[in-house]
């Protein structure tokens, strides 16, 4: 072997290792960048999915609330349509005409009229005619449904504020159509102020003049009088038709029916529903569940102005855009008819909805967080999997390298004794050596090299048997002194070849251990072989046995092999028991070996329920200690589990 071979081999390994690590570094960087990209895209996707879910829930909730609004509109306006109060009122219609229509609508059977799911006579309280046009003293008439007559009536106390307001706004049709506006408007109009009503409100009366008073509640409509030519006279005074609604029926029948119809399903309702009245005296008109609406801090998912108060211009701009954010949470429906504003604070009926699982925003946020958590967990598993694969790749690379080193080492270890045997045999064949002393010397050389060859082959076979799981051990009491003497005798030739001698010391308390004789011999032979190879200038191998006590294992026998060699660096202690591993220093010093000795020794020790440890110092030497259990009663009669007999081994 040339002197440059180790340097060239080390250089090749370094270059190959650098390429391998550079490849893995680039691959891991690319994988990390890919994982980060996937994480960012996943985060954005969950945000988009959350926004889409908000839009879906918002559209669904708004659809249900709009349907509720439409059905309530049908309930309230059914009587308005039946009374047929319109532009021609006051021309050919008399009070008796209204009475007949009311009676017909009230007593009509379903098959006698066109289908109308909203016909609910119980909702109607009373219907009055309030004659105010041209009279100094207004008169109130009741359309009595029971007697089917028009009867003069006193002004009920609860109707007095409303009738007084209608009287004050009965001078002409223009003023009557503005009766719903606050008093401040009429005062400003009378003083010549440029204040004008909201043209949107005046132009959006879908019921052609019907106005709603939420405080009663009641629905009113002006009746236009005409002159003698039967032509409309906008300056003539007007009368009023007043329809009161039964609040109990509204609260106990209409609202619950609408809540069940619009928000219920086969499994019950997913939402809590309530109707509240805002204004000077706020109150809860209906609640689908006890306790909902009783707390001032209740959070609702969506609210709707039932009578369609128009939002501001800014709100209209928002409503014209896509349904995102919180736009669906508070909205106004198309206006039915103006609401009479009696107090300084407008009275508004509001429908509010709350999901039973909690605020929808929290539900959506929780779902998004759950999706993010699941995505993060999947990415984490992927990252861990990549990490495991990377570690496995490095391990496989290292193991492959160790195997290549092992093949090279074994090839060298086998070739060296074979070369010596071949050379000796060739010399003997050619008659180079004829003297008896020379023949004995050559015979000793052949035996020594053959023994070394056999040892190397045995180690490879042992390693193979360990890997296949076919190794078996027979545990029995073994006398420590006899096994140590036997090992020293078997190793005598190798010791003599290495010019080493053994110093044997066995404490008196040491008698026997529980072990497999062949495995224990092989374990100690591997340790002594290493001590010979790495002993340095100190050619002594100290072999000792002592009795020890441990809390966990009881009595043990510690068999130590000490050398005075170069020692082992702390950075290599974690790898010296790995198969095929050889320290760089041993390779550089060209100390022959396969890297299996310590691996086999550790395996034998653990297979016998023992353990192998090392204490080392660079430049001083190493001590390898095999600790094995003792039989329950050793040959000296010491009970191994008796704490009273524990000691330093000299008892």
- Domain with 633 in it: what CATH number? 3.30.565.10
Task: Specify the range with the lowest mean pLDDT, choosing from 110-119, 134-143, 468-477, 620-629.
Answer: 110-119
Domain annotation covers residue 63: yes
Instruction: Provide the pairing of β-strand 348-355 with 271-278.
Output: antiparallel
From 312, 340, 358, the end of a domain falls on: 358
- What confidence score (pLDDT) does residue 152 get? 94
* DSSP symbol at 335: P
Record the tokens describing residue 13, joined without a space.
Answer: 């390994």
DSSP 8-state symbol, 254:
I
In this prediction, residue 7 carries a pLDDT of: 42
Task: Please determine, for residue 129, whether its predicted confidence score (pLDDT) is greater than 90.
Answer: yes
Given this model, what pLDDT does residue 532 score?
86
Q: For residues 624 and 614, is the Cβ–Cβ distance under 8 A? A: yes
Does one domain contain both 144 and 280? yes
Highest mean pLDDT: which range of 139-148, 234-243, 367-376: 139-148
Model pLDDT for residues 373-393, shown as the tens digit of each residue: 888 888 888 888 888 888 887
- Side-chain-side CA neighbours of 459 within 13 Å: the count stands at 25
316 pLDDT band (50/70/90 cuts)?
A: very low
Does 175 share its domain with 317? Answer: yes
Distance CA 318, CA 314 (A): 6
Please give the average per-residue pLDDT across 169-176, as a whole number: 86
Is 70 exceeded by the pLDDT of residue 228? Answer: no
371 or 294: which leads in pLDDT: 371
Q: What pTM does this model have?
A: 0.54
- Return the higher-pLDDT residue of 649 and 232: 232
40 part of a folded domain? yes
Host domain of residue 477: 472-645
Residue 582, pLDDT score: 77
Of 14-28, 546-560, 632-646, the poorest mean pLDDT is in 632-646
pLDDT at position 640: 47
pLDDT of residue 550: 83
Residue 341 sits in the same domain as residue 481: no
Do residue 345 and residue 493 come from a single domain? no
Structure tokens at 151: 């009867």
Is 367 part of any domain?
no
CA separation for the pair 648, 651 (Å, rounded): 7
Interatomic CA distance for residues 511 and 632, integer angstroms: 12
H/E run at residue 478 = strand 476-479
pLDDT range class, residue 624, cuts 50, 70, 90: very high
Please give the pLDDT value at position 301: 82
**In the chain, what's the furthest Cα-to-Cα distance?**
167
Q: Which residue has the higher pLDDT, 389 or 102?
A: 102
* 260 inside domain: yes
User: Given pLDDT bands bounded at 50, 70 and 90, which one contains residue 282?
Assistant: confident
The contacts of residue 58 (CB under 8 Å, 6+ apart) are 302, 323, 327, 328, 329
pLDDT classification of 641: cutoffs 50, 70, 90: very low
566 closest CA partner among 596, 544, 588? 588
Higher pLDDT, 205 or 128: 128
The helix/strand/coil state of 13 is helix
Greatest mean pLDDT range, 71-85, 149-163, 229-243: 149-163
Q: Is residue 296 part of a domain?
A: yes
The percent of residues above 90 in pLDDT, for the chain, comes to 16
Closest C-alpha among 627, 611, 624 to residue 525: 624
Neighbouring CB atoms inside 10 A of 71's CB total: 17
Instruction: Calculate the average pLDDT of the chain.
Output: 77
Q: What is the Cα–Cα distance from 333 to 328, expressed in whole angstroms?
A: 12
pLDDT at residue number 206: 42
Residues 141 and 268 both lie in one domain: yes
Greater confidence, 18 or 211? 211
Res. 33: pLDDT tops 60: yes
Say if residue 132 is in the same domain as residue 255: yes
The mean per-residue pLDDT over the stretch 186-201 comes to 49
Q: How confident is the model at residue 343 (pLDDT cuts 50, 70, 90)?
A: low
Asked, for residue 407, whether it belongs to a domain, the answer is no
Buried b (16+ CB within 10 A) or exposed e, 423-438: ebeeebeeeeeeeeee
Output 35 or 513, whichever has higher pLDDT.
Answer: 513
pLDDT band at 202 (very low <50, low <70, confident <90, very high): very low
pLDDT score, position 308: 72
Residue 617 gets the label, from left (phi > 0), alpha (psi -120 to 50) or beta, of beta
- Residue 451: inside a domain, yes or no? no
Last residue of a domain, one of 328, 358, 388: 358
- In this structure, the answer to whether residues 148 and 288 fall within a common structural domain is yes
Contact between 247 and 235 under an 8 Å Cβ cutoff? The reply is no
Between 506 and 649, whose confidence is greater? 506
What 3-state DSSP class applies to 635? coil
* Among the ranges given (180-184, 228-232, 493-497), the one the predictor scored with the smallest mean pLDDT: 228-232
**Where is the domain boundary, 358, 385, 408?**
358
Q: Which residues of 622-640 are buried (b: 16+ CB within 10 A; e: fewer)?
A: bbbbbbbbbbeebeeebeb
Please state the domain count of the chain: 2
Looking at per-residue pLDDT, the higher value among 497 and 110 belongs to 497
Same structural domain for residues 479 and 331? no
Decide which of 615 and 397 is more confident. 615
Task: Show the DSSP H helices in 110-224 as ranges.
Answer: 160-168, 173-176, 183-190, 199-202
For residues 17 and 5, give the distance between their C-alpha atoms in angstroms, rounded to a whole number.
18
Q: Is the pLDDT confidence value at 642 over 50?
A: no
Overall average pLDDT of the 85-93 stretch? 63
Helical spans, DSSP H, in 469-516: 480-490, 492-497
**Angstrom distance (rounded) from CA 136 to CA 281:** 34
* Average confidence (pLDDT) over 482-490: 88
Q: If you average pLDDT over residues 551-557, what whole number do you get?
A: 85
118 and 252 assigned to the same domain: yes
């Amino acid at each position: 072997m040339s002197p440059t071979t180790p340097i060239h081999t080390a250089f090749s390994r370094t270059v190959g290792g650098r390429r391998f690590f550079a490849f893995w570094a680039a691959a891991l960087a690319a994988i990390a960048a890919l994982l980060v990209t996937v994480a960012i895209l996943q985060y954005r996707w969950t945000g988009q999915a959350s926004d889409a879910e908000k839009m879906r829930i918002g559209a669904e909730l708004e659809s249900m609330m709009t349907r509720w609004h439409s059905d309530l509109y049908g309930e309230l306006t059914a009587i308005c349509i039946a009374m047929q109060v319109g532009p021609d009122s006051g021309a050919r219609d008399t009070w008796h005409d209204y009475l007949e229509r009311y009676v017909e609508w009230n007593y009509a059977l379903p098959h006698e009229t066109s289908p109308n799911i909203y016909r609910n006579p119980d909702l109607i309280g009373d219907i009055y005619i309030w004659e105010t046009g041209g009279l100094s003293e207004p008169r109130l008439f009741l359309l009595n449904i029971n007697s089917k007559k028009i009867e003069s009536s006193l002004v009920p106390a609860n109707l007095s504020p409303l009738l007084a307001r209608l009287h004050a706004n009965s001078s002409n049709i223009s003023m009557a159509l503005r009766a719903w506006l606050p008093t401040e408007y009429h005062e400003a109009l009378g003083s010549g102020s440029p204040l004008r009503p909201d043209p949107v409100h005046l132009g959006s009366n879908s019921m052609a003049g019907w106005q709603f008073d939420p405080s009663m509640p009641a629905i009113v409509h002006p009746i236009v009088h005409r002159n003698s030519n039967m032509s409309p006279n906008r300056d003539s005074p007007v009368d009023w038709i007043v329809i009161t609604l039964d609040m109990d029926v509204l609260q106990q029948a209409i609202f619950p029916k609408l809540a069940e119809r619009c928000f219920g399903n086969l499994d019950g309702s997913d939402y809590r529903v309530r109707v509240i009245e805002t204004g000077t005296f706020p109150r809860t008109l209906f609640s689908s569940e006890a306790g909902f609406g009783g707390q001032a801090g209740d959070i609702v998912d969506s609210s709707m102005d039932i009578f369609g108060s128009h939002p501001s211009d800014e709100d209209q701009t928002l409503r014209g855009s896509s349904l995102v954010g919180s736009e669906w949470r508070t909205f106004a429906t198309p206006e039915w008819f103006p609401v009479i504003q009696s107090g300084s604070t407008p009275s508004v009926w509001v429908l509010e909805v709350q999901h039973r699982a909690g605020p929808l925003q929290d539900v959506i946020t929780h779902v998004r967080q759950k999706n993010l958590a699941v995505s993060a967990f999947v990415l984490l598993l992927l990252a861990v999997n990549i990490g495991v694969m990377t570690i496995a790749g490095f391990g496989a690379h290292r193991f492959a390298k160790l195997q290549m080193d092992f093949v090279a080492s074994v090839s060298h270890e086998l070739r060296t004794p074979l070369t010596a045997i071949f050379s000796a045999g060739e010399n003997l064949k050619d008659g180079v050596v004829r003297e008896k002393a020379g023949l004995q010397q050559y015979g000793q050389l052949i035996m020594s090299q053959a023994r070394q060859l056999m040892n190397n082959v045995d180690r490879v076979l042992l390693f193979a048997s360990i890997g296949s799981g076919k190794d078996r051990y027979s545990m029995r009491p073994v006398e420590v002194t006899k096994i140590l003497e036997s090992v020293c005798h078997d190793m005598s030739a190798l010791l003599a070849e290495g010019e080493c001698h053994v110093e044997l010391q066995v404490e008196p308390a040491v008698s026997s251990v529980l072990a497999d004789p062949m495995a224990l011999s092989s374990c100690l032979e591997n340790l002594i072989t290493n001590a010979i190879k790495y002993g340095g200038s100190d050619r002594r191998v100290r072999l000792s046995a002592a009795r020890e006590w441990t809390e966990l294992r009881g009595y043990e026998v510690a068999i130590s092999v000490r050398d005075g060699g170069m020692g082992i660096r702390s950075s290599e202690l974690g790898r010296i028991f790995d198969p095929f591993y050889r320290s760089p220093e041993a390779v550089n010093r060209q100390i022959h070996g396969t890297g299996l000795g310590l691996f086999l020794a550790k395996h034998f020790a653990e297979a016998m329920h023992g353990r192998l440890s090392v204490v080392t110092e660079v430049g001083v030497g190493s001590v390898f200690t095999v600790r094995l259990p003792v039989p329950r009663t050793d040959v000296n009669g010491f009970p191994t589990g008796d704490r009273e007999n524990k000691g330093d081994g000299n008892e």
